[in-house]
Structure 1
Amino acid sequence: MSGADELDEAVALANGAAHGARRGDGREAPEGGETPRPRSGDAASGTGRGAGNRTDRESGSQTRDVPGSADGSGAGSGTDGGPRGGSPAPSPDDGDELAAPDWVTPRSARGGGHRSGRTAGEAPSHARDAPWPDARTHAARAAGPLPSLALPLDQALDHTLGAPLDALTDLPSFDTSAMDGWAVSGPGPWSLADDATGTGILAGDTSEPRPLPDGRAIPIATGARIPPGASAVLRSEYGESEGGRLRTTRRPQPGTDIRPRGQECRSGDRLLPAGTRVTPAVLGLAAAAGYDRLTVTRRPRAEVLVLGDELLHRGVPHGGRIRDALGPAVAPWLSALGAEVIVTRRLGDDAEALHEAVATTTADLLVTTGGTARGPVDHLRPTLARVGARLLVEGVRVRPGHPMLLARLPERQEPGTGGGPLLVGLPGNPLAAVSGLVTLAAPLIRALGDRPAEREVFARITEDVQGHPRDTRLVPVAFAPAASRARPLHFNGPAMLRGVATATALAVVPPGGASSGSDVQVLPLPWFAW
């Protein structure tokens, strides 16, 4: 049995065990200090609608209102996956699913080979109520790298190299002076060369320097070509010219302050492998090596669909409506993860507008906020069934954020797209949506963008953290990497953003909780440089 087969079998067994352990009423046990919610997730406010979910996106990508939504502004379920209008929450085992869950699925959705040497993955089977680590694995294996393209250097930042970076020339391409001073020949004393007038040899001088005879010196600038016959460079602070002679108290050893040709690399040397993230330093190296364009993996194009008529997109909440907190947050979060966000669209609770957006998207990734439950105005699941999408992950054993989902839309006809677009359905409660971003969107964007796998980071928790009896919890923390400590933050309920707004990471708290002083995995937030 291959490693991939063993992983899928383990996931299927874990999923089966999870179903056997599910409570009959589909509700979670209460967490300490948090309001219990239906498994499908009713609102933290107890109204069947979440509080403080999403607002329109102001920067980085276009924001567009869609006609037909309430006053042109409403979108999203506003729940952590719960039904709308207060109707009872069905169990995740109830019907009303997409076309039959395929527990054993053809393993062909990942697409072409991985250019950084990793084996191309295989499409995971439908994982329902998946353990949190398995859900992240499913998301990482749901897609392969997008096609490569050549971009000018000024457009390649934050992409991933789609081909190795090999030197096009020796670096440096000629012997060059590392300091301002004098090029000298021999052990000295030295007299100034006959042509040692004015500024001497300057960087960028295209004329061929004359040979320097033994016992002679000539002024030279940093980066200038070393003349034939020169044995060293005497720094300007160590010498003084007087009466046509060069006086010094320090005699440089042969080769001092000369950068020999090819010191950094020879033409054809492998500088960086495919799969390397293009940072400012990588751009500098590529330019020095002679590149005008880089072959990079295309970043996934993402589109954000904000759902729900209860949302306001400006002003103070009033009249039973709430401000959209996710519209302004999700698109920049996706950008920080490596996606190129095309547009944020506010669709309200308009089933036809949602169907049109999903069926006609040109993006590689759709991210929806709210509407992941089965309430009367939760149109996401019926829309996915209508367009013939296939669920890959349906519910994750994580709090908050259990009702998140991952689906693949039908394959597009354009060549080189590597399969149909993917859709990540985020719950409507803000912290639950953040949970969906780090659980499903982050590993998926890494796979699409051919980014290196995220390394696991652990820290010592400084306080007891109560856990869920069955599920993983994601808790905002102040993470101090130098001390490897993580301090839990307050305001960590599913409808809250106050805690994560001051956090630098999310702590992964296992079922049962974590005691003070124990080590837990932490997920640094994408903008936290540590």
Structure 2
Amino acid sequence: MPTTDRATPWRAARRIAAEAAAPLPAEDVPLDRAVGRVLAAAVRARADLPGSDTAAMDGYAVGAGGPWRVLGRVMAGGPVWPRALAAGQAVEIMTGAVVPAGAVAVLPYETADLTRAAAPDRPHIRRAGEDARAGAELAGAGWLVTPAVAGLLAQGGADEVPVRRRPRVRLVVTGDEVIGAGVPAPGQVRDVFGPMVSALVRGAGAVVAERLLLRDDPGLLADRLAAPDADVVVVTGSSSAGAADHLHRVLEKAGARRLVDRVACRPGGPQLLAALPDGRWVAGLPGNPFAGLVAALTVLQPLLYGLTGRAVPPAPRLPVHGDVVVTAPHTRLVPVRLAGDHAVVVPGSRPASLAGAAGADALAVLEDGWADGSPAELLPLT
């Protein structure tokens, strides 16, 4: 497999990752387990919304023309009033109760005047089907099921909904020097990718199927790439060109196709995205923690969005203030804090340090031509 001579521009790398994978198959899940998942097909209303004319306020449902005499009370969920209201007739009614036939308005308690002759201009009645008719599409394929969407689908009568299967991710943290717990001894480092990348994976709608530390051994790495039960294998710390960086050679022997091989960004340049012959994916992240975070946001997060059928959310743009040098063709990604209508660069960020990113709200994408105060895209970190 030939070596890529030119690094992929950052924006192109992110687009490639987002468009590389087809969405995973669909599965039906109970509505209360669908939040955070992506709909695989449209969900339609099973009945009119609302199903009947209902009161939008607590007050009095009145027939045409007053003054009105109160005949009784109608409660939400209680029996429907058995007779049509004639002129001069009214019933006390609660929000959500079915409005009697013949009612022209609901007079709210706060402003009700039963001695007046005419009904108010604003009826305070929700008419049957005014939100949606039976069979109408409530949410389309590709929609993220948020709490509000789940509530809407429940209103429409949904019990189960079709969603894309969650991608399963195997996280392989390589390095003889990496330890998983405790205080590192001289020459050792703690695994930061386990907690950091696992959180990013879950935030993108995927699940961590396996998470392990691996010695710098190409045979062990090849075994973990070949192991089943993972749609994506994330390998950290083996994507550069050092003596212990085996990922490129392992991928070549496996017959993988590299879609991204190095990215023109700082930090995070030595990253890659590859497709294995069996249709699974490999994302390679550099071993420096902040560089690895940048790479995860560049190729891993968009890939996971694509597998779930979710579009990459549009990045907000704000003016960014700070002392940063951007040198073409490299894109700089720097941590920033939000400050109202602009963002401010967190100083002192380095490829091996997460201190700046930990105190930031987003990463600003600074491209050729950016100057202090110019607008830039922001990739949220929360």
* TM-score normalised per structure 1: 0.68
1:492 paired to 2:365: no
Return the alpha-carbon distance in structure 2 between the equivalents of residues 343 and 250 of structure 1.
Answer: 73
SS state at 1:212 partner: coil
1:428 paired to 2:306: no
Offset at 1:100? Answer: 4.5
1:226 paired to 2:99: yes
Change (3 A) 1:127 1:452: farther
Give the aligned partner of residue 314 of structure 2.
455
Retained in 1: the 8 A contact 2:202–2:208? yes
Written as runs of structure 1 = structure 2, the 5 A alignment for 1:236-385 is: 236-239=109-112, 247-248=114-115, 252-253=119-120, 256-385=123-252
Return the alpha-carbon distance in structure 2 between the equivalents of residues 284 and 250 of structure 1.
Answer: 40
User: 2:326 is matched with which residue: 467, 487, 492?
Assistant: 467
Give the aligned partner of residue 20 of structure 1.
none
Retained in 2: the 8 A contact 1:169–1:290? yes
**Cα deviation code 1:249-294 (max 9, x no counterpart):** 6953266111111111212223333222111110011000111111
Return the alpha-carbon distance in structure 2 between the equivalents of residues 127 and 492 of structure 1.
Answer: 28
Give the aligned partner of residue 183 of structure 1.
61
Written as runs of structure 1 = structure 2, the 5 A alignment for 1:506-525 is: 506-511=363-368, 514-525=370-381
Give the aligned partner of residue 72 of structure 1.
none
User: 2:49 is matched with which residue: 171, 174, 184?
Assistant: 171
Retained in 1: the 8 A contact 2:61–2:103? yes
Aligned CA RMSD, in angstroms, stands at 2.3
Aligned residues: 382
Return the alpha-carbon distance in structure 2 between the equivalents of residues 130 and 218 of structure 1.
Answer: 71
Unaligned runs of 5+ in 2: none
Change (3 A) 1:377 1:463: closer
Structure 1 counterpart of 2:62, which letter? Answer: V
Change (3 A) 1:190 1:353: same
Written as runs of structure 1 = structure 2, the 5 A alignment for 1:4-403 is: 99-100=1-2, 128-193=6-71, 196=72, 200-206=73-79, 209-239=82-112, 247-248=114-115, 252-253=119-120, 256-403=123-270
Return the alpha-carbon distance in structure 2 between the equivalents of residues 469 and 267 of structure 1.
Answer: 56
Offset at 1:362? Answer: 1.4
Offset at 1:493? Answer: 0.8
Return the alpha-carbon distance in structure 1 between the equivalents of residues 106 and 239 of structure 2.
Answer: 70
Structure 1 counterpart of 2:374, which letter? Answer: S
Change (3 A) 1:433 1:310: same
Retained in 1: the 8 A contact 2:74–2:81? no
Retained in 2: the 8 A contact 1:306–1:345? yes
Retained in 2: the 8 A contact 1:156–1:278? yes
SS state at 1:302 partner: strand
Retained in 2: the 8 A contact 1:127–1:394? no
SS state at 1:452 partner: coil
Offset at 1:231? Answer: 2.0
Structure 1 counterpart of 2:15, which letter? Answer: T
Structure 1 counterpart of 2:142, which letter? Answer: G
SS state at 1:160 partner: coil
Change (3 A) 1:407 1:226: same
**Cα deviation code 1:131-155 (max 9, x no counterpart):** 2122122212211222222211111
**Cα deviation code 1:287-330 (max 9, x no counterpart):** 00111111222232222111112122222222321222221111
Return the alpha-carbon distance in structure 2 between the equivalents of residues 472 and 362 of structure 1.
Answer: 35
Retained in 1: the 8 A contact 2:263–2:270? yes
Which structure is richer in relative contact order (CA contacts within 8 A, separation 6 or more)?
Answer: 1
Change (3 A) 1:250 1:298: farther
Give the aligned partner of residue 117 of structure 1.
none
Q: Which has the higher strand share?
A: 2
Retained in 2: the 8 A contact 1:231–1:254? no
**Cα deviation code 1:395-445 (max 9, x no counterpart):** 11111111101111121xxxxxxxx11110100000110111111112212
Return the alpha-carbon distance in structure 2 between the equivalents of residues 181 and 399 of structure 1.
Answer: 64
Return the alpha-carbon distance in structure 1 between the equivalents of residues 258 and 305 of structure 2.
Answer: 20
Unaligned runs of 5+ in 1: 1-98, 102-125, 241-246, 412-419
Change (3 A) 1:491 1:266: same
Change (3 A) 1:487 1:238: closer
Return the alpha-carbon distance in structure 2 between the equivalents of residues 469 and 128 of structure 1.
Answer: 13
